[in-house]
Amino acid sequence: MMTAFEQQKARRPSNCLISLVVPCYCESENVANFIRQVNTDLEGEELEIIFVNDGSSDDTLERMIALSLEDNRIAIVDLSRNFGKEAALSAGIDFATGDVLIPLDVDLQDPPLVILEMIAKWREGYDVVNAVRCDRRSDTMAKRTTSHFFYRTFNKLADVELPPDVGDFRLLDRRVVEALKKMPERNRFMKGLFNWVGYSTTSVNYERPARIAGKTSFNYWKLWNFALDGVVGFSTLPLRIWTYVGSVVAFFALGYGLVIIVQTLLFGRSVPGYSSIMTAVLFFGGVHLISLGIIGEYIGRVFVEVKDRPVYVVKDVYGKKLESDND
């Protein structure tokens, strides 16, 4: 009897098409280097390279087009403006046609050489192969600490488990990609979506090098909002917690009320209490605003989902592959 896993292994085609999905925002210095590195590291593999130009304001698109004229494995999806990395990734995933799909950064922080190890794992029968950053020396101490804190909080709150130190760099089998494409939400917290779909998963380790050129487009404010999108998109605990906070507070309020009544009955009316009243009013004013704010976070997202706007808008596509599809 063959196990389900062995069946998967047997189904893997001997030569597979690998789709690299590469979101790019103002990366004019990096695109050519990226292709050069891919050609060296993945020589002999059957590739499809989907560049998504996420509304770059420099000459990234021109450079991509120049590359695609010489290399018909390169396809370019040009978005109408900057939609953010998550949306750009979603666009690339929609256009990719390979047997396996691998999202990776164009700044070579996700080394293409690791892909060979991923493919080997895929051939063993796994559907998802996560690339785990075993060495984050290239990140600052602050980034590592906040990232650690985020994963811990997220995993406590959310209904999916995010493996720590895994970014978007991972291998996805075609079946996983099809499952992902069925997820209709506007809030594209891709890491969460990747894990939500499930499938048999394994991992490979790699060292994350520093960016080859250009600078990161993620600052702390962006990362904070990204984290918020993640938590709110995958957990309703922040909403529900107020039921319990409210119940506990009401319980103590009742107890304290009884104490005051008994005191009044036994010792007569006592007027002092300004400080306790002020403390209670201000404290609960704060608690109410926080809970309203959290409800607001969810309502805001419900609003965005209900409008049902597309996740991205494609202005144009380039490259032999996509251009001929459109004829």
User: Contact at 8 Å (CB) between 120 and 55?
Assistant: no
Map residues 86-115 to x or -, x wherever contact with ligand UDP holds by CB under 6 A: --x----------------xxx-x------
7 makes contact, choosing from Mg ion, ligand UDP, none, with CB < 5 to 8 Å by partner type, with: none
Map residues 160-199 to x or -, x wherever contact with Mg ion holds by CB under 5 A: ----------------------------------------
Cα separation, 272 vs 160, whole angstroms: 51
Q: What number of chain residues touch ligand UDP (CB under 6 A)?
A: 16
Question: Is residue 109 part of the contact set for Mg ion (CB under 5 A)?
Answer: yes
User: Contact at 8 Å (CB) between 21 and 96?
Assistant: yes
Q: What is the DSSP letter of 165?
A: T
CB of 88 or CB of 160, closer to ligand UDP: 88
Phi-psi group of 301: left, alpha or beta (phi > 0 → left; psi -120 to 50 → alpha; rest → beta):
alpha
84 makes contact, choosing from Mg ion, ligand UDP, none, with CB < 5 to 8 Å by partner type, with: ligand UDP
Hey, what are 79's tokens?
Answer: 């978005």
- Residue 17, judged by CB atoms within 10 A of its CB (0-12, 13-18, 19+), counts as middle
Site for ligand UDP (CB under 6 A): which residue of 48, 54, 78, 165?
A: 54
User: Contact at 8 Å (CB) between 5 and 125?
Assistant: yes
CB of 168 or CB of 173, closer to Mg ion: 168
279 makes contact, choosing from ligand UDP, Mg ion, none, with CB < 5 to 8 Å by partner type, with: none
CB of 88 or CB of 96, closer to ligand UDP: 88
Site for Mg ion (CB under 5 A): which residue of 27, 78, 107, 165?
A: 107
Phi-psi group of 117: left, alpha or beta (phi > 0 → left; psi -120 to 50 → alpha; rest → beta):
alpha
**Other beta carbons less than 10 A from residue 310's beta carbon:** 11
CB of 320 to ligand UDP, least distance (A): 23
Site for Mg ion (CB under 5 A): which residue of 27, 105, 165, 229?
A: 105
Q: What is the DSSP letter of 54?
A: -
Q: What number of chain residues touch Mg ion (CB under 5 A)?
A: 3
The helix/strand count (H/E) of the chain reads as 12, 8
276 backbone dihedrals φ, ψ, rounded to 5°: -65, -40
DSSP-derived secondary structure for 96-146: --SSEEEE--TTSSS-TTHHHHHHHHHHTT-SEEEEEEEE-TTS-HHHHHH
User: Contact at 8 Å (CB) between 79 and 55?
Assistant: yes
23 makes contact, choosing from Mg ion, ligand UDP, none, with CB < 5 to 8 Å by partner type, with: ligand UDP
Phi-psi group of 125: left, alpha or beta (phi > 0 → left; psi -120 to 50 → alpha; rest → beta):
left
CB of 29 or CB of 305, closer to ligand UDP: 29
Site for ligand UDP (CB under 6 A): which residue of 25, 126, 189, 234?
A: 25
Hey, what are 96's tokens?
Answer: 């990719």
CB of 48 or CB of 168, closer to Mg ion: 168
Site for ligand UDP (CB under 6 A): which residue of 18, 19, 23, 232?
A: 23
Question: Is residue 80 part of the contact set for ligand UDP (CB under 6 A)?
Answer: no
> Residue 11: in which H helix or E strand, if any?
helix 4-11
Question: Is residue 27 part of the contact set for ligand UDP (CB under 6 A)?
Answer: yes
- Summarize as ranges the residues that interact with ligand UDP (CB under 6 A): 23-25, 27, 54, 82, 84-85, 88, 105-107, 109, 216-218
- Summarize as ranges the residues that interact with Mg ion (CB under 5 A): 105, 107, 109
